[in-house]
Amino acid sequence: MILFDNVSKRYPGGKEALSDVSFGIQAGEMVFLTGNSGAGKTTLMKLIIVLERATKGQVIVQDVNLNRISAKHIPAIRRNVGVVFQNHQLLFDRNVFDNVALPLYIAGFQHREVGRRVRAALSKVDLTQKEKAYPISLSGGEQQRVGIARAVVNRPSLLLADEPTGNLDPELSKEVMDLFIQFNQVGVTVVIASHDLGLISRLNKRQIKLHEGKLL
Amino acid sequence: MKTPGATTTSISMPDLMTAWLRSHRNVAIQSLSNLLKNWLTSLMTMMVLGIAMGLPLLLYILLVNVLNLSENFDGKPRISIYLNKQLEEADIKRVLTVVNEHSNTQSFRYISPEEALADFQFRSNFVDVLNTLASNPLPGVVELIPSYTDPVKLRSQIMELEKLQEVDTVLADLLWIERLFSFIKLAESVVILLALILGLGVLLVLGNTIRLSIENRRNEIEVVKLVGGTNSFVKRPFLYLGFWYGIGGAISSWFLVHICLLFLSGPVELIAQSYRDHYALVGLTFLEGLVLFAVSSALGLLGAVLAVYRHLRIIDGSL
């Protein structure tokens, strides 16, 4: 599903965020990406959705070599990956339904199909009642669940989450993690960047540990 | 290794086409409803556009009216063709045929020497003098009213007539008509110049409006790109926004021009009456209206394209 082969990423200005990182993630796996802030977790995620490009090495995701694709094909790559952000990245000028529906509008789904899929996604994250609400009126946990619903509404085979529980208390964190586990159980490959080590150790999943841009 | 394009989604080709059309329709409606939601701001922008486009438009309309007046004007130039004396009937016929077949002839009248003499006798007090003359001193004359008063056309027509063997001289008072035409040419140049300058103004106003709109929706653009929106998907709402602004600008300039004409029609009628005439100002024809809308929406679109290309590159860079 994901293959990093001797990947290095150097930002303009000289700082090497990743150096010679190699690993593979099988389809259907659930993997945690751990390490301190600045260890390169976010950079690694950015490489997977081509927000950044590797300076060296190969990044291959879903059989596509991301180093070789043109800018024109980047949107197609991103549509096959669901991404959950720490700061949710919700749009505050539209309600929950329209936020979740955004990837479907982009992919050009029919109106009826959009409604069906959005409601299915909202029911998975238990927010069916909040469909008409605006994000501003939701709690932090609810906002994060809207973000998750948006990430899975297009039924991607790969789900990335960058510090999805970063701003949540332990109970809400557990709820959110449970959601990811459920998606993984139906076959979705899940990669979660997190430094919530307590929570991770209880889940007993594979960890990819980063330290100052190197694999531990 | 698969090409990335093939892994897009499970949507088949015809569906992609309808999806594309659906997206266009949705975006067009949505950007229009966004405009209407902030109707006061939109209205003000559209009025600025309306004034910028209305000014050259109004000048153009006034020019059309001046041209109209000069066409209807009784003082159309007349060309007098003095024929040689002692012409045969057949020669005169030949001249008249040539005159008749010329493309710029609206109407003509042949005045034979006899008629001219009778007319002269009737109008003047020289009856006695004329009677002493052995023969009729007056030549035959063809009086011609041209269809177009364009001095260039008139000149070439006169030259052609002068070449005829049977023709002695051709007279026409071209000076005032040439002056009128050079004034009209000047006014036309002013209209074009103004249209260009204010068209540039329209582009700048629109570019700025759309830049602001892009800034306001920066967050949205970023999120859309994160979840796989293509560049065209991101650009589309702004292009439609420009288009709608253009349409709005056309509507407001149309109103502006017609309100001005309404305001001017009273004084114009008064002047016409003082000449014992009647003249109604003409407004935009249907076709001119169409051109106005086409040009305006094209300007809107162009302004949007410029703003979008400039500013989305900046946003692209920040991702």
Domain-wise residue ranges, chain B: 18-72+180-318, 79-172
Q: Is a pLDDT exceeding 70 seen at residue A133?
A: yes
Q: Which domains does chain A have, with CATH numbers?
A: 1-80+157-216 (3.40.50.300), 92-155 (no CATH)
Planar angle of CA B236, B242, B243, nearest 5 degrees = 90
Band of pLDDT at residue B7, cut at 50, 70 and 90: very low
The nearest CA of chain B is from the CA of A63 a distance in Å of 6
Contact with chain B for residue A102, Cβ under 8 A = yes
pLDDT cut 70: percent of chain B above it: 91
Most confident of B231-235, B257-261, B280-284: B257-261
Q: Which member of A63, A76, A154 has the closest CB to residue B5?
A: A76
Residues of B in contact with A79 (CB under 8 A): 8-9, 227-228
Which among B4, B26, B219 has the least Cβ separation from residue A91? B219
Token output for B130: 């004329």
Distance from CA of A202 to the nearest CA of B (A): 31
| Residue B314: per-residue pLDDT | 64
Q: What is the Cα–Cα distance from A198 to A165, expressed in whole angstroms?
A: 12
Collect all residues of chain B within an 8 Å Cβ-Cβ radius of residue A106: 224, 227-230, 233
Per-residue pLDDT at B319: 43
pLDDT at B289: 92
Comparing CA positions, the residue from A16, A28, A6, A19 lying closest to residue A190 is A28
Provide the mean pLDDT of chain B.
82
Contacts of B227 in chain A (CB under 8 A): 78-79, 83, 102-103, 106, 150
Query: Structure tokens of B108?
Result: 């003509």
Higher pLDDT pick, B104 / B285: B285
| Contact list, B224 vs chain A (CB under 8 Å) | 102, 106
Give dist(CA A208, CA A94) in Å, integer.
37
User: Pick the residue with more confidence: A163 or B148?
Assistant: A163
Residue corresponding to tokens 């980047």: A74
Query: Which amino acid, residue A168?
Result: L
- Interchain CB distance below 8 Å, B2 and A64: yes
**pLDDT value at A194 more than 70:** yes
Question: What chain B residue is nearest to A110 in terms of C-alpha separation?
Answer: B19
Rounded mean pLDDT, B287-306: 93
Domain B79-172 has CATH 3.40.50.720: no
| Mean pLDDT of the A78-83 span | 91
CA distance B242 to chain A (A): 21
Residue B153: predicted pLDDT: 80
Within the 22-51 window of chain A, which residues sit less than 8 Å (CB to CB) from chain B?
A: 49, 51
C-alpha separations of B274 from A126, B100, B262 in Å: 83, 36, 19
pLDDT at B139 over 90: no
Strand partners, B145: B107
The pLDDT of residue A30 is 94
Residue A82 has what pLDDT? 92
CB contacts of B219 in chain A (<8 Å) are 91
Q: Answer with the residue of higher pLDDT: B312 or B65.
A: B65
Band of pLDDT at residue B72, cut at 50, 70 and 90:
low
Rounded mean pLDDT of B299-313?
A: 88
> Does B138 score more than 70 pLDDT?
yes
Tell me what percent of the residues of chain A surpass a pLDDT of 70. Answer: 100
Reply yes or no on whether the pLDDT at B9 is more than 50: no
Q: Is residue B263 within a helix (H) or strand (E), and if so which, with residue range?
A: helix B231-274
Q: Which residue of A has its CA nearest to B18?
A: A108
What burial letters (b/e) apply to A70-84, b meaning 16+ CB within 10 Å?
eeebbbbbbbbbbbb
What SS3 class is residue B293? Answer: helix
Whether the predicted pLDDT of A109 surpasses 70? yes
pLDDT at B2 over 70: no
| pLDDT interval class at B5 (50, 70, 90) | very low
Say if the Cβ atoms of A108 and B23 lie within 8 Å. yes
Instruction: Tell me the C-alpha distance between B212 and B205, whole Å.
Output: 11
**B-chain residues within 8 Å CB-CB of A51?**
226, 319
What mean pLDDT do residues A156-182 have?
Answer: 88
In this predicted model, what pLDDT tens digit does every residue of B251-274 receive, in sequence order?
999 999 999 999 998 888 888 888
pLDDT at A73: 87
Q: Tell whether the model's pLDDT for residue B10 goes beyond 80.
A: no
Position B315 scores a pLDDT of: 62
> Across the interface, do B1 and A63 touch by the CB < 8 Å criterion?
yes
CA atoms within 13 Å, Cβ hemisphere of B259: 10
- The CA–CA distances, whole Å, from A3 to A21, A184, B5, B265 equal 10, 19, 20, 78
Give the residue from A52, A63, A75, A76 showing the smallest Cα distance to A24.
Answer: A63
Q: What is the pLDDT of residue B317?
A: 52
